Amino acid sequence: MVEFSFLNPNSKLFNQVILSFEYTSDGSTLITATVNAVQLYRYAGSAGVVALLSEIGCAIFVLVVTILEVIKIVRLRLNYFKELWNVIQWVTIMLFYVAVGLYTMRCLWTVWVVEDLMNNPGQ
């Protein structure tokens, strides 16, 4: 098995190549090649700007919905949680914040790993 990764600086894509050589019982060789292209730099180019603006718009929308739901909770108190749709709305809001946290951790981890690779070439 041969595995290697490389960066194409023109497209800012990281490429992962896995070559597998398997020898069968009849003496033949099965060769499998897998190539994956990964864009680790999320906001590169004009498509990155569109993605960033879309994510900011989504975050603002969910923040406004969160504020409106908190106002409803303050106004209705415990009666707010008697309706199923209010509970579902609150669970959805919490899942959004969990997803944002995980996405942020992924972005930070990617930056740390890429910086480590650039600072320690050949290791």
One domain for residues 19 and 68: no
User: What domain range includes position 92?
Assistant: 45-119
pLDDT at residue 68 in the model: 96
**Alpha carbons 118 and 92: distance in angstroms, whole number:** 39
pLDDT at residue 9 in the model: 73
**Alpha carbons 102 and 96: distance in angstroms, whole number:** 10
pLDDT at residue 59 in the model: 94
Count the domains in the chain.
2
One domain for residues 23 and 50: no
- For tokens 């790993």, what's the residue? 113
One domain for residues 50 and 17: no
One domain for residues 24 and 79: no
pLDDT at residue 37 in the model: 87
One domain for residues 6 and 30: yes
| Spans in the chain with pLDDT lower than 50 | none
Instruction: Report the Cα 16 to chain-centroid distance in Å.
Output: 18
Torsion sign (Cα): 75, 78, 81, 82: negative
